[in-house]
Structures are given as structure tokens and as C-alpha cells.
Structure 1
Amino acid sequence: MIVVERDIVLPAPLDEAVSYLEDFRRTEEWDPGTLRCVRSDEGPVRPGSVWRNTSRFRGRTTRLTYRLDVMEPAHLAFVGTNKSVTATDDMRFEARSGEETLLRYRASLRFKGLAKLATPFLRAEFEALGDKVARRLPIAVAEHRR
């Protein structure tokens, strides 16, 4: 399994930061690997809401179906699956002074079948992707607030 963790300061109060990130279609704005993310169901975002995510990694396009598993005032967790990987995005929020929120972001990837063999070789690339997310996410939140 690959686990990437980052602490990211977001330029928004806690409730706005959580509200922004609870709609997973916004990964298009802050995740450099996401090409498209479309909600599959209707109504308000709630536990069980589903998105189809299309990403590009190492020149290959992959599709995962993500489900919102945890939706609490300071905790969100999304689980994405396809035939070769289970990806979990776990987001825990802490209010900071003023208009800031600390996001403790943890992305974990558990590869299945033969894809497991590539795990040791992919770790560095996922760490680099985590760095890009940490840079882009605060910008996306700030632009959304405008």
C-alpha cells in the first residue's frame, strides 16, 4: 500500500473548507491527475454519494468510482475503486485562527492483483503528486471564495 500525507493550510474557515471539498467533482480544480470527475447520483451531497473520476497517471488514463464514506463536520473520506486499485482520500480539518483551516490530507492506494507488484516503484511518483496537490489546493480554495 502507498500512503501519502500532507498538512495543508487552506485560506477559508472550517465550514467553507469542508463544504468546498465535500463535492468530489472539484478534484478537477486541485488534483493535477484528475481529468474529469462527474457526480453519478442526484440530490444533496451525503454519505453514499458517488462520482466517476477519470485520471491520468504515468501517461495512462484510469477510471475509478468514488463514494463518500464519511461526512462529518471536520472529517470527509472518499473511497474509489476499480479492478486494479482501491484509493482512499481521508480529510480531517482543524479550525485555525482567522480565516484559515488546517487540512490533514491522507491518500492511500491499495493495489490489487498483478498491480501490487508495481507498488514499490510508484511510491516516489505519488509523493510528487502529493506535493502538487498541496500547492494547488489552497489556490483552488481561494479562487472558489472569490
Structure 2
Amino acid sequence: MIKVERVMHSDRPRDEIVAYMADFSHAEQWDPGTITCRPVSANALVEVGAEWLNISSFRGRRTELRYELTRMSDDRLTFVGHNKTATSTDDLHFEPRSGGTRITYRAHVEFHGIARLATPVLKREFERLGDEVSEQLPAALRQALGPSAPGPQQF
């Protein structure tokens, strides 16, 4: 299994970030590998059990995973994606911090069958993707949610 973890900070309040991140179709903006991510059902609500079809590019190949929102709370979101080659879990934790929110992003990828043999070789590539997420996610939040209102000035 490949495990990647990154910690980021946003100046936006936790509830705004969780509401944005709960709609996994926004992965198009913050996940560097995602090409498209669409809800499986046209009238799907963003709640536990909601599903998205994610098409990504990885090492020059397109791959399709069906993701499900398996956990949703004020401080945590978990999405689990499946296809015949892999199971991918994106687990996000949100902690209020002075001036915003601390975001902990954990990705776990478990390859199935013969694809498991590639796990050691692909670890480095997933670490690189984790680095890109840590840059793109805060930028996507700023663009989608806007800059935080300035706090009171201190003299």
C-alpha cells in the first residue's frame, strides 16, 4: 500500500472548506491528476453514499475510478475510489486554527492483482502528486472561496 500525507493551511473557516471539499467534483481544481470528476447521479446530494466518476491521468495513462463519500462530519471527509486495478482513499481532516483551518490530506492507494508488483516503483510518483496537492489545494480554496476578510488591525 502507498501512503501519502500532507498538511496545509487555509485562511478560510473550517465549515466553508468542508462544504467545498465534500463535493468531490471539485477535485478537478485541487487534484493535479484529475481530468474530470462528475457525480454518478444527476440529482445526487452531497452526503454519505454519494458517488463520483473520476477520470485521471497517471504516468501518461487515463484511469477511471468510482469514488464514494464514506464519511462526512464537521472535521473529516473520506472518499474511497475503486476500479479493477486499485482502491484509492482520500481522507481529509480539518482543524480550526487561529486565522483559518489546518487541513491534513492522507491518500492511501492499494493496488490489486499483478498491479501490486508496481507499488514500490510508484511510491515516488505518488509522493510527487502529494506535493502538487499541497500547492494546488490551498490555491483552489482561495479561488473558490475568496480571500479571508482581514481581521482587526492591531497597533
| TM-score past 0.5 threshold | yes
Matches within 5 A, 1:129-140: 129-140=129-140
Is 1:80 aligned to 2:81, yes or no? yes
Instruction: Give RMSD over aligned pairs.
Output: 0.7
SS in 2 for 1:92: strand
- For residues 13-61 of structure 1, give each alpha carbon's deviation from its aligned partner in whole angstroms, at most 9, with x where no partner exists: 0000101100000000011100000001224200000000000000000
Percent identity over the alignment?
48
Match of 2:52 in 1: 51
State how far apart, in whole Å, the 2-side matches of 1:82 and 1:44 are: 23
Match of 1:32 in 2: 32
TM-score, length-normalised on structure 2? 0.92
Indicate if the aligned counterparts of 1:10 and 1:137 stay in contact, CA closer than 8 A: no
Deviation of the 1:93 alpha carbon: 0.6
Letter paired with 1:50: E
Letter paired with 1:127: E
TM-score, length-normalised on structure 1? 0.97
State how far apart, in whole Å, the 1-side matches of 2:10 and 2:65 are: 26
Matches within 5 A, 1:1-146: 1-41=1-41, 42-98=43-99, 100-146=100-146
Deviation of the 1:131 alpha carbon: 0.2
- For residues 100-134 of structure 1, give each alpha carbon's deviation from its aligned partner in whole angstroms, at most 9, with x where no partner exists: 11011100000000000000000001000000000
State how far apart, in whole Å, the 1-side matches of 2:23 and 2:112 are: 27
Indicate if the aligned counterparts of 1:37 and 1:51 stay in contact, CA closer than 8 A: yes
State how far apart, in whole Å, the 2-side matches of 1:43 and 1:126 are: 30
Indicate if the aligned counterparts of 1:89 and 1:107 stay in contact, CA closer than 8 A: yes
SS in 2 for 1:87: strand
Deviation of the 1:97 alpha carbon: 1.0
Letter paired with 2:76: H
Aligned length, in residue pairs: 145
Letter paired with 1:94: E
State how far apart, in whole Å, the 1-side matches of 2:108 and 2:123 are: 11
Greater radius of gyration (CA): 2
Q: 1:63 to 1:43 in 2, by over 3 A?
A: closer
Instruction: Return 5+ residue gaps in structure 2 as ranges.
Output: 147-155
Q: Which moved more, 1:76-85 or 1:36-45?
A: 36-45
SS in 2 for 1:93: strand
